[in-house]
């Protein structure tokens, strides 16, 4: 559809970052300098990294959308899908997927279009698209779409957009010298159509922290979700507890996570003895034996369901038993607020 004349100049300016063009998603993900954003539109724990690529719930799809390279006359017809990803507490995030045609060349690329939001009194507010919403400055508008990519829609400065309510999204592009807008009209978010919002949290770095039972202080668990040097994600725990005689004991373990974050993880635990104070011991004297399993599930950002079961033949002197505990968050990771 034709674009309003006054937006043509803006689209050209918005394309300036493409002068130092990088392909999505790898270059931007590694090179972007991120700045924490307290004004983010979504709960931080809503979206894992990388972003979800599977549509769940209602979606709007436009086929044969002509997207262009802002620097040349190249353009291609892509498929664009917009949908909401369920967050906790009745919130949602908006994702936009760009899919290139099967015969697209590998030496010419269209650019990520410029998004505009219209909602109530907000008229064509400039928005941004990026890999995740917890930033002020990073964006990918005007960068090359080298392969299929999913981005999250986020507001910028100015009047806030309520992405749970109905709004109009327009994507602006310049193809073969012609500026165009492609519109998506999203209805209000429906919790009933997004049952994922009632599920436990995905196991990501946002659930890292210290957990305990306030009525039974003196025992607790540190949970860490991170990445290994090779990029593999893992979940680990250290459970500070006691044996039957009341002596301090600790059980630890870690488990690799799949690329799509699960909503629960079962981790083999180790019972470790034979060390010494302040490193005054021979590491070869450590006795680490399989203890059993610990399953971690996070119904909310501040609650942990802990299911545990010792082995049928536990290590000598180790705590034994099985059951379920519901713990609460004691502290969070500095600068990584869950919700």
pLDDT band at 22, cuts 50/70/90?
very low
Report DSSP letters for 79-145, one per residue: EEEEEEEE-STT-EEEEEEEE--TT--SS--PBPPEEEEEETTEEEEEEEEES-SS-SS---TTSB-
Instruction: Verify that 145 and 53 share a domain, yes or no.
Output: yes
- The number of domains in the chain is 2
From CA 165, how far away is CA 92, in angstroms rounded? 10
Shared domain check, 233 and 130:
no
Say if 297 falls within a structural domain.
yes
Do the domain assignments include residue 200? Answer: no
Q: Of 142, 171, 194, which residue constitutes the final position of a domain?
A: 194
**What single string gives the DSSP state of each residue in 50-97?**
SPP-S--S-EEEEEEEEEE-TTSS-EEEEEEEEEEEE-STT-EEEEEE
Q: Assess whether 247 and 294 both reside in one domain.
A: yes
Tens digit of pLDDT for each residue in 142-194?
Answer: 789 999 999 999 887 667 788 999 999 999 999 888 899 999 999 999 988 98
Q: Is 272 inside a domain boundary?
A: yes
pTM for this model (two decimals): 0.76
Cβ 87 vs Cβ 42: under 8 Å: yes
pLDDT at 7: 45
Decide if 51 is inside a domain: yes
Report yes or no: 249 and 318 within 8 Å, Cβ to Cβ: yes
User: Is residue 337 in a domain?
Assistant: no
Distance CA 112, CA 214 (A): 49
Residue 27 host element (H or E): helix 26-31
- Is the pLDDT at 49 greater than 50? The verdict is yes
Last residue of a domain, which of 194, 220, 242?
Answer: 194
Same domain, 189 and 235: no
79 domain-assigned: yes
Claim to verify: residue 155 and residue 133 sit in the same structural domain? yes
Does residue 260 sit in the same domain as residue 218? yes
Residues 298 and 243 in one domain: yes
Of the candidate ranges 22-31, 89-98, 259-268, the one whose mean pLDDT is the lowest: 22-31
Domain end residue (candidates: 154, 170, 194): 194
- Judge whether 339 lies within some domain: no
285-339 pLDDT per residue, tens: 888 999 999 999 999 999 999 999 999 998 999 999 999 999 999 987 876 778 7
Confidence of residue 125 (pLDDT cuts 50, 70, 90): confident
Give the whole-angstrom CA distance, residue 68 versus residue 85: 28
The parent domain of residue 167 ranges over 5-194
């Amino acid at each position: 559809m034709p674009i309003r004349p006054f937006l043509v100049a803006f689209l050209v300016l918005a394309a300036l970052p493409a002068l130092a063009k990088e392909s999505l998603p790898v270059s931007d993900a590694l090179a972007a300098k991120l700045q924490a954003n307290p004004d983010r539109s979504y709960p931080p724990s809503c979206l894992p990294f990388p972003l979800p690529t599977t549509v769940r719930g209602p979606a709007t799809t436009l086929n044969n959308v002509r997207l262009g390279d802002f620097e040349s006359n190249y353009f291609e017809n892509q498929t664009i899908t917009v949908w909401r990803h369920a967050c906790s507490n009745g919130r949602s995030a908006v994702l936009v997927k760009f899919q290139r045609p099967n015969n697209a060349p590998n030496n010419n690329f269209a650019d990520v279009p410029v998004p505009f939001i219209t909602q109530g009194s907000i008229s064509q507010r400039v928005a941004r698209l990026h890999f995740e919403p917890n930033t002020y400055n990073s964006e990918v508008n005007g960068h090359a779409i080298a392969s299929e990519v999913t981005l999250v829609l986020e507001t910028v400065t100015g009047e806030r957009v309520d992405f749970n309510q109905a709004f109009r999204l327009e994507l602006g592009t310049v193809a073969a010298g012609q500026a165009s807008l492609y519109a998506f009209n999203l209805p209000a978010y429906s919790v009933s159509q997004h049952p994922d919002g009632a599920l436990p949290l995905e196991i990501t770095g946002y659930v890292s922290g210290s957990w305990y039972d306030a009525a039974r202080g003196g025992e607790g668990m540190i949970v860490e979700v991170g990445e290994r040097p090779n990029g593999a994600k893992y979940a680990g725990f250290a459970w500070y507890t006691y044996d039957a005689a009341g002596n301090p004991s600790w059980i630890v373990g870690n488990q690799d996570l799949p690329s799509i974050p699960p909503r629960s993880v079962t981790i083999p635990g180790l019972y470790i003895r034979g060390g010494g104070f302040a490193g005054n011991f021979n590491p070869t004297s450590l006795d680490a034996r399989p203890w059993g399993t610990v399953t971690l599930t996070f119904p909310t950002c501040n609650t942990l369901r802990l299911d545990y079961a010792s082995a049928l033949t536990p290590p000598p002197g180790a705590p034994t038993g099985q059951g379920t505990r519901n713990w609460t968050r004691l502290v969070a990771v500095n600068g990584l607020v869950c919700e």
